[in-house]
Amino acid sequence: MAAPLLEVDSVTVDYVTDVADIRAVDRVSLTLQPGEFLGIVGESGCGKSTLLFAIAQLLSPPAEMVSGSVRFGGHDLVQLRDDELRHVRWRDYSVVMQSAMNALNPMKSIGAQFKDTIRAHVKMAPDAIRARSAEVLRLVGIDAVHLESYPHQLSGGMRQRAMIAMALLFTPQLVIMDEPTSALDVVAQRSLMNQIKELQLKLGFAVIFVTHDMSVVGQYSDRVMVMYAGQIAEIGATASVFEQPLHPYTKGLLDAFPSIRGPRRDLTGIPGSPPDLARPPTGCRFHPRCPEAIPECAGVEPAVSMVDGRAVRCILVGEPSRERGGHDG
């Protein structure tokens, strides 16, 4: 197996407030191979976006990464100084955010924002800059004339695609995406996802894709990571997770989504709501809502264990005795 592109080890993120510190991400570890598409799913508030920003080194106060390492390209990003990190940004990994309307500077034209980005990293003649900008726009199917346009002049779908184009300016090895399709209607969503997948296969970059939409993850990702209450619930190859989910939460998520083929069945939701992270449940965080819970679940916090190449955090499936969260092979 080739060397992993990204190794996230035991990352923990706290929100530091006057009253108490809230642990939004608890000892999450994962690895990513070059060119791999990893989907991260979970309910709102499970910490998936926080994890994403932690990996990208984009946390802002009051969020703070209190421990863990993010090894990328031979360096631990956490240990890098600001100016060293700056060189890595965008060239080796880039970020696509949820709402392009908010993520693009409303006062600068698309072209100007591309130019800013390019000039921050390389010296290039204006013509070359323009050529490259037009090239990435073409990749996502936008006419180069829109380099002069301002964000509010583009449609929602176009804006998202422009953001993706911007992320590809330096053809990075990794693109981190935070729910880029949530703000779009279903048709635009599909079109955008197809485009992303196509680009990924063509240019060969890896993707970490955060979403709450199981169907997107099921269709486009190679591996999937399920998060609950700031912790990993399950990680594994998408096909096998979908076919045979091991963690009760994953089962619940899959049961809540209809399949277009296959027999009609009743949809079941997961009763209750995600826990207050200021006061998480004792033992397994999911046990109050888990249909398979046994008395031990409230007492013992399960560690992540490996089952058939899958990482699962559940005492019903793996052994509870391991101390640290492991990562899948």
Partner 1 sequence: MAVPAIATEPGLLGGTDAARGSQALRRFTQAIVRNRKATAGVIILLILGFVAAFPGLIAHDDPQAAIYDQSIGPSAQHLLGTTQLGQDVFAQLIWGTRLTLIVTVVVSAIATLISMVIGVTAAYVGGMTDRALSLITDVFLILPTLPLLIVLASYLPPGTITLIVVLTFTSWAFQARQLRSQGLSLRARDFLVAARVRGEKTSYIILVEMVPTMTSLLVASFLGLAVFVVGFAAGLQFLGLGNSTELTWGTMLYYAEQSGALEAGNAWWALAPGAAVAFMGAGFALVNYAFDEISNPALRPVRRRHGSPAA
Partner 2 sequence: MRYIARRLGLFLVTLWAALTVNFIIPRVMPGNEATAVLATFRGVNPAALHALEIEFGVNIHQNIVLTYLQYIANCFTGQFGVTAERNPVITEIMGKLPWTLGLVGVTTVLAFAAGTLVGAVSAWRRGGHLDAILPPLLFIVASFPVFFVGLLLIFAFGVTLNWFPLASNYSIGATPSFSLSFIGDVLDHAVLPGAALVIVTAGLWIYSMRNNMISTLAEDYVKMGRAKGLPSWRIMFDYAARNAILPNLTGFAMQLGYVLGGSILIEYTFSYPGLGYLFYTSTTDHDLPLMQALFLFYTFAVLICVLLADLLTAGLDPRTREA
* Partner whose footprint covers residue 56, from partner 2, partner 1, none (CB < 5 to 8 Å by kind): partner 2
Nearer to partner 2, 98 or 305 (CB): 98
Of positions 29, 31, 49, 173, contacts partner 1 by CB under 8 A:
49
C-alpha to C-alpha distance for 24 and 63, rounded to whole angstroms? 9
In the Cβ-directed half-sphere of 144, how many Cα atoms lie within 13 Å?
A: 9
CB of 177 closer than 8 Å to CB of 169: no
CA-based R_g, the chain, Å: 20
Residues of span 81-140 touching partner 1 by CB under 8 A: none
Residue 83 makes CB contacts below 8 A (sequence gap 6+) with: none
Nearer to partner 1, 139 or 210 (CB): 210
Binding site for partner 2 (CB under 8 A): 56, 58, 60-61, 82, 85-91, 94-95, 97, 99, 102-109, 116-117, 120-121, 150, 152-153, 166
* Partner whose footprint covers residue 328, from partner 1, partner 2, none (CB < 5 to 8 Å by kind): none
Of positions 10, 12, 35, 64, contacts partner 1 by CB under 8 A:
64
C-alpha to C-alpha distance for 196 and 80, rounded to whole angstroms? 30
Of positions 1, 60, 260, 265, contacts partner 1 by CB under 8 A:
60
* Partner whose footprint covers residue 16, from partner 1, partner 2, none (CB < 5 to 8 Å by kind): partner 1
* Partner whose footprint covers residue 224, from partner 1, partner 2, none (CB < 5 to 8 Å by kind): none
By CB under 8 A, is residue 211 in contact with partner 1? no
DSSP-assigned beta bridge partners for residue 235: 225, 311
C-alpha to C-alpha distance for 51 and 90, rounded to whole angstroms? 18
Q: With the C-alpha atoms ordered 258, 263, 269, 274, is the resulting torsion angle positive or negative? A: negative
Of positions 29, 31, 50, 189, contacts partner 1 by CB under 8 A:
50
C-alpha to C-alpha distance for 71 and 6, rounded to whole angstroms? 6
Nearer to partner 2, 103 or 224 (CB): 103
Of positions 6, 8, 9, 15, contacts partner 1 by CB under 8 A:
15
Nearer to partner 2, 166 or 235 (CB): 166
Query: Cα dist. 243→40, 237, 239, 261, 306 in Å?
Result: 17, 10, 6, 14, 17
Query: Cα dist. 326→167, 229, 260, 262, 329 in Å?
Result: 31, 18, 35, 35, 9
Nearer to partner 1, 16 or 145 (CB): 16
By CB under 8 A, is residue 45 in contact with partner 1? yes
To which H or E segment does residue 214 belong?
helix 214-220
Least Cα distance to 45 among 242, 274, 286, 267 occurs for 274
Nearer to partner 2, 21 or 116 (CB): 116
Nearer to partner 2, 113 or 250 (CB): 113
Where do contacts with partner 1 occur on this chain (CB under 8 A)? 15-18, 22, 24, 45, 49-50, 52-53, 59-64, 178, 277
